[in-house]
Structure 1
Amino acid sequence: MKTFRSIEFYTGTREEQLPDFSTDFPYVASCVDLNKYSGRFVPWHWHKAVELFYIETGTLEYRTPKGKILFPAGSGGMVNSNVLHMTKPQGENIKTVQLIHIFDTSFIAGEHGSRIEQKYILPITTAPQLEIIALYPDSQPQKRILDLIQNAIHLPEQEFGYEIRLREILSEIWLSLFEVSSSILEEKKKHDKTNDKVKMMMIYIHEHYAGKISIPDLAAAAYLSERECYRVFHDCLHMTPTEYITGYRLQMACQMLANSQEPVTAISHACGLGSSSYFGKVFREYMGYTPVDYRRKWQNFDR
């Protein structure tokens, strides 16, 4: 099981890059301590793989374009394929730890187009009404799934047959998720193209954050008018395009400060925030630290 304190993205996208994720074994388990994440949150992102999670300590807020759900310790759930989401712990000084399985559904479905995929996988992964399946321990069927999620995390990786046993448990979890969400699956909803549009604009920002980004150019990247651009950001991310651009630039600045010795002035220009004085002002408002103090805190974190 891996321990992470940040996420990385594929070049030119906001799709999360999953370490140790390979075609012959498309699965990764991780332990996420949100207190060790820069800014104590995981920014907006998505991944084709599905995400099963269990909250070990603290309370974690999941946000999607449709709203937010709180998950206290002992609860968990599933984030569906390609769903845009971010997470943020509740409480300033409360340790929040999350156990996560991320896997491509081919791991349990087998070959693309198989009967298992058609009958059991696609009805869930293609259902727009199923962004997140929330699971709470006060429901016995849901508690059973939560127990399975924990059991799978603690399978000994070096034990003979680990891969097959893991696939067996994940398959059992999937069938149980199918059962607990059956009533929701009966609802007929159309795919919301707004999500695709905001992803296109997020990709544009990821590619151009170091330079000037105008709203007309950003809107054009998703074939929208400026007015529609503002509406899509408001509806999906509950912020303006400018707020998102600034936030993303500051996220990049945090990574540069924590992982390099580049001068603050160079970082301020590299992340598209201009002069070091403006960068320092905005950074302190956003993070509560000066860039120098932030660098000192995170580069000395494990010492």
Structure 2
Amino acid sequence: MKNISTIEFHTGSKEELLPNFASDFPYIASRVEFDKYMGSFVPWHWHKAVELFYMQSGVLEYYTPKGKQVFPAGSGGMVNSNVLHMTRPLAESGKSIQLLHIFDTSFIAGQQGNLIEQSYITPIIAVPQLEIIPLYPDHPEQSQLLNTIRESFQLSEDDFGYEIKLRGVLSDIWLQLLSMSRPMLDEKGAYDKINDKVKLMMIYIHEHYSEKISISEIASAAFSSERECFRAFHDCLHTTPVDYIKRYRLQIACHMLAKSRETITFISHACGLGSNSYFGKVFREYIGCTPIEYRHKWQDSDI
């Protein structure tokens, strides 16, 4: 299981870049300790792979376009394919640790278009209103499934037949999730194209964050008006385009401060945050410390 402390993106699609995710074994197991995660939260992102998770400790907030759900220790759930989401631990909840199975559904379905995919996979991943399937231990049926998810992280790569055992347990979990989510699957919901538009706008920002960016340029990237741009960010990401740009630039700055020896001046300009004084002011406001303090924290540790 890989310990994750930062998020990276594919150059083209800007989906999350999943380390060691291979076409012949489209699966990774991750462990996130949020006090060791850059910025202490996971920023807005999406990926084609589904995300099955279990909260080992602490309390985690999951944000999606439809709102927020809270997951305390012992709870868990599944984030659907291509769903925009971000996660943030509650500060007063203590050390938050999350365990994740992230896998392409082909890992359990097999060949694309086959009967298993049509009957058991597509009914979940093709439903626009099904962003997250939450699981809580106070519900007997969900509690049993949560135990299965928790125990699945104990499988060892060194065990004989590990890959088959893993596919078997994930298939069993998926079948139970399908059964539990049937009431939601029967609800009629139209696909909201605003999700695709906001992804295009996010991609534009990710590609041009070091430059001056106007709202009209962001909107044009998704063939939208400025009014639609503001609405898309408000409805999907619960923020403004300007604030998203600022937060993304700070995210890049945090990565550069932790991973490089570039000067503060170089980093502030490279991230599109201008002068040292403005960079320092905004950094402290959002991150809670100065850029130099942040660099010392990350470069002087073994995290």
TM-score w.r.t. length of structure 1: 0.98
Distance 2:54 2:10 in 1: 26
SS of alignment partner, residue 56 of structure 1: strand
Tell me the residue number matched to 1:297.
297
Distance 1:14 1:151 in 2: 33
Residue 22 of structure 1 pairs with residue 31 of structure 2: no
Instruction: Quote how far apart the aligned CAs of 1:26 are.
Output: 0.4
Distance 1:5 1:65 in 2: 24
Deviations 1:250-284 (A, max 9, x none): 00000000001000000001101111111111111
- Code of the aligned partner of 2:120: Y
8 Å contact from structure 1 (residues 12, 204) kept in 2: no
**Which range moves more in the overlay, 4-13 or 128-137?**
4-13
Distance 2:37 2:7 in 1: 9
Give runs of aligned pairs for residues 232-247 of structure 1, distance below 5 A.
232-247=232-247
Residue 138 of structure 1 pairs with residue 126 of structure 2: no
Distance 1:112 1:13 in 2: 21
Distance 1:187 1:14 in 2: 31
Instruction: Quote how far apart the aligned CAs of 1:12 are.
Output: 4.0
Aligned-residue sequence identity (percent) comes to: 65
Instruction: Quote how far apart the aligned CAs of 1:13 are.
Output: 3.9
Distance 1:13 1:278 in 2: 31
Give runs of aligned pairs for residues 33-48 of structure 1, distance below 5 A.
33-48=33-48
SS of alignment partner, residue 77 of structure 1: strand
SS of alignment partner, residue 62 of structure 2: strand
Tell me the residue number matched to 1:51.
51
8 Å contact from structure 1 (residues 13, 202) kept in 2: no
Tell me the residue number matched to 2:230.
230
Instruction: Quote how far apart the aligned CAs of 1:14 are.
Output: 3.3
Distance 2:222 2:30 in 1: 34
8 Å contact from structure 2 (residues 58, 93) kept in 1: no
Give runs of aligned pairs for residues 119-134 of structure 1, distance below 5 A.
119-134=119-134
Deviations 1:167-195 (A, max 9, x none): 00000000000111111111011111111
SS of alignment partner, residue 210 of structure 2: coil
Instruction: Quote how far apart the aligned CAs of 1:156 are.
Output: 1.4
SS of alignment partner, residue 53 of structure 1: strand
Distance 1:19 1:198 in 2: 25
**Which range moves more in the overlay, 168-177 or 279-288?**
279-288
Tell me the residue number matched to 1:63.
63
Tell me the residue number matched to 1:280.
280
8 Å contact from structure 1 (residues 106, 112) kept in 2: yes
Distance 1:129 1:279 in 2: 39
SS of alignment partner, residue 16 of structure 1: coil
8 Å contact from structure 1 (residues 12, 206) kept in 2: no
Tell me the residue number matched to 1:204.
204
For structure 1, the residue ranges without an aligned partner over 5 or more in a row are none
Tell me the residue number matched to 1:167.
167
- Code of the aligned partner of 1:110: G
Distance 1:90 1:57 in 2: 11
Distance 2:8 2:210 in 1: 17
8 Å contact from structure 1 (residues 61, 68) kept in 2: yes
Tell me the residue number matched to 1:11.
11
SS of alignment partner, residue 3 of structure 2: strand
Distance 2:99 2:269 in 1: 37
Tell me the residue number matched to 2:254.
254
Distance 1:7 1:37 in 2: 9
Tell me the residue number matched to 1:96.
96
**Which range moves more in the overlay, 136-145 or 291-300?**
136-145
Instruction: Quote how far apart the aligned CAs of 1:301 are.
Output: 2.4
8 Å contact from structure 1 (residues 135, 142) kept in 2: yes
Aligned Cα RMSD in Å? 1.0
Instruction: Quote how far apart the aligned CAs of 1:92 are.
Output: 4.4
Instruction: Quote how far apart the aligned CAs of 1:212 are.
Output: 0.9
Give runs of aligned pairs for residues 70-85 of structure 1, distance below 5 A.
70-85=70-85
Instruction: Quote how far apart the aligned CAs of 1:93 are.
Output: 6.7
> Cα distance 1:215–1:118, how it changes in 2: closer, same or farther (>3 A)?
same
